[in-house]
Amino acid sequence: MPFDGIVTRAVTNELQDALLPGKISKIYQPTAQELIFTIRSQGVNQNLLFSIHPTYTRIHLTKNSLVNPKEPPMFCMVLRKHLGGATINSIEQDRLERVITFSFSTRNEIGDQSEKQLIIELMGRHSNVILVNEETGKIIDSMKHISMAQNRHRTILPGHDYLKPPEQDKLNPLEIAGEDLIKRIDFNAGKIDGQLVQNLTGYSPFITKEIVRRAKLGDMAIYQEKFEEVNHDVVQKNFKPTIYTNGREDYHVIEITAEKLERQEFVTVSDMLDSFYSGKAERDRVKQQAKDLSRFIRNEINKNERKLKKHYQTLKKAEKADRYQKYGELLTAHLHLVKPGDTVVTATDYYDPEQNKVEIELNPQISPSENAQRFFKTYQKLKNSRKIVQIEIKKTEEEIDYFDRLLQQIEVASEDDIDEIREELRDEGYLRKQRTKGRKNKVQKPVPETFIASDGTAILVGKNNKQNEYLTMKLARRDEIWLHTKDIPGSHVVIRSTEPSEETLREAAKLAAYFSKSQHSSSVPVDYTLIRHVKKPNGAKPGYVIYDNQKTLFVNPSAKFVEEHRQK
C-alpha cells in the first residue's frame, strides 16, 4: 500500500484545486488516529480525512461517514479552538516528501489576526499531525506527543520549536536529471529497485520496481530513460489513479505496466484512496473497538472448554457406577467370608460366569457390612452425578457454541453492530450493565443490513444475535425464505420474497456463506427453508433457532459480490 511521496504530490495537487479558497466549518476526531475536517469551498462542503494509522496512513477527501465519540478528545478540542472558522491560505508539499503543510488565517481570543499551520507527516508508524503557531514556530499541540526520550533528534511537545524530520541523503526527483541519479547506482551490485529507493526522495519500492520492469534488464542508458519517463509524469502531474489487483490489492497514480493485473481506474485520487482504504480501515476500527470484547469472549470459551474437559472426566468416572453396585451386592452375599481387618475378599461373580471369581478391595478400618454400604453409596453418588454432568455438558457446549457465534459476528461487524453485541452480553448477565443517569434512553430496534439481488429483490442480513432474532422472529413474514450456513456459525438471512428466482436464492446463499465462520472457504453448505419452519426453543440463547423442511445449496463466498450488492 504505497502512500509514497508521489501519491502525496497527487493528493496535494487535488486538495489545492478542491479546497482553495476554503473555510473550516467542523472538526471531528472519530478515533485516536483519525481526524475529519468539514471544509466549505467553492460553494460545496468537503470532508477531509487525516489518518496517522501505522498501516493505513493517508490524507484525502472522503465520502464515508465515521462515528464520532460523545466526548471529543483533547487534541480535537485544541483544533476547534485554534482552527474553528479558519481560512485555508495554502496547501503545500515539502519537495517530494510525505509532508503536507496547511496554512491558515484565523482570529485569536482578542480578535487579532493569527497565522497557524497544520503539518501532516505521513510516515507510517512515525506519522503525526502537528499544530504550529506560524509566527513563532512553536508547537501548539500534536496528535502524538514525542518526548526526547523517544526521539533524540526532535521533541514534539506543546511549547517546543517545530523541527522538520531529519534530512536524508537523497535526491529530489523534482529537481534532478536522470544522469544525476545514474551516477549513484552501482549496476554491478544488483538490486537496482532497492538502490533507487535509497537514492530518491518520495519513490517507494512499488514504483522503483516499475522502473526496473520497464527497463527489462537493459543498460544504464535504458534505466536513465525509464526513470525520466516515470519522473516526467511525476513532475508534470500526469496522474492516473488506479487500483491494481493480482492476488492482493495495491494502488498508485503512476501507470503500472505489469501484465495479468486487474485495473480499476478512478477520476480522482481521493476516490481511489476512499475505495481502497474504507473497508480495511473500518475493519481495523472495529477490531480496535472490539479488542476487549474479543478477549473476554475468548476467555469465556477457554473457561468453558476447561469446564467441559472436567465434566467428561467426571462422566468417565461415573461410568464405573455399575461396578460399585455389583461389588456391594457381591460383598453382601459373601459377608460370611470376611474377617475383621481383611483388606480383600475373593467372591464368586454371579454376574460373569466366565470370570467366576472377583477380588474386592476392602477398607480394614470398617466392618464388612459398612464396606458394602460404602460401595452402594458410591454407586448412588456416581449414578446421580452422571445425570447432572450430562445436563452440565449440554449447557457448557451451548455456551461454547454461543460464544463461538459471537466471535464470528465480531469478524463481520460494523461499529454499530459491536455496540449491540456488547449490549447483548450485558442483557445476558456476562457484562456489568452501565449505570445511566436520568431518563432511560428509548430502546432502538435492531437494523439488519440490506442487500439488493440482481433482480432488485431485497435481502436482509442479521449481523449479530439481536439483529438475527429481530429479523427472523419479528420482521420476516411466514412465507419468506430464510437461509443459514449448515452447522456453521453465521448470520440469519431473509429474502423479502415468497417466490424468489433461482439466481436470487443463490445470491442470498452467497451472503449467508460470506457472513459466517466459513467466509474464507469454498463450496459452503447453506440451508434454506420458509420462515414458518424456523423456531426458537424455550430458554435458548439470543439468535439460536432450530428449523426443518430445509434444502441445501453449496456456494462460494465473495467479498466483491457482497460490496456490489450492498445497499448504498
Tell me the C-alpha distance between 195 and 207, whole Å: 12
- pLDDT given for residue 441 in this prediction: 56
Q: Which residues of 161-194 are buried (b: 16+ CB within 10 A; e: fewer)?
A: ebeebeeeebbebeebebeebeeebeeeeeebbe
Can you give the pLDDT of all 568 residues of the chain as single tens digits? 579 999 999 999 999 999 999 999 999 998 889 999 999 999 999 999 999 988 889 999 998 877 788 889 999 999 999 999 999 999 999 999 999 999 999 987 777 889 999 999 999 889 999 999 999 999 999 999 999 888 888 999 999 999 999 888 899 999 999 899 999 888 888 889 999 999 999 999 999 999 999 998 788 899 999 999 999 999 999 999 999 988 788 999 999 998 788 899 999 999 999 988 877 777 777 777 788 889 999 999 999 999 999 999 888 878 778 788 888 888 898 888 888 888 888 888 887 777 778 888 899 989 888 999 998 998 888 888 888 888 999 999 999 999 999 988 888 887 778 888 888 898 888 888 766 555 555 567 889 999 999 999 999 999 999 999 999 999 999 999 999 999 999 999 999 999 999 999 999 999 999 999 999 898 999 999 999 999 999 988 899 999 999 999 999 998 889 988 988 7
Q: In CATH, what is the architecture of 5-142?
A: Roll (2.30)
- pLDDT given for residue 269 in this prediction: 96
CA 376 from chain centre, in angstroms, equals 57
Tell me the C-alpha distance between 14 and 20, whole Å: 10
Question: Does domain 178-287 correspond to CATH entry 1.10.8.50?
Answer: yes
pTM: 0.65
Cell 541519479, residue located: 181
Pairing of strands 546-547, 87-93: unpaired
- pLDDT given for residue 380 in this prediction: 87
Provide DSSP, 65-82: --PPPSS--HHHHHHHHH
**Sheet of strand 458-461: strand arrangement:** 449-452, 458-461, 493-495, 481-485, 524-530, 551-555
What is the tens place of the pLDDT at every residue in 76-125? 999 999 999 999 999 999 999 999 999 999 987 777 889 999 999 999 88
Cell 478477549, residue located: 295
Contacts of 158 (CB under 8 A, 6+ apart): 139, 140, 141, 142
What is the tens place of the pLDDT at every residue in 347-361? 888 877 777 788 888
Tell me the C-alpha distance between 350 and 97, whole Å: 93
Q: Which residues of 234-260 are buried (b: 16+ CB within 10 A; e: fewer)?
A: beeeebbbbbbeeeeeebbbbebeeee
- pLDDT given for residue 280 in this prediction: 76
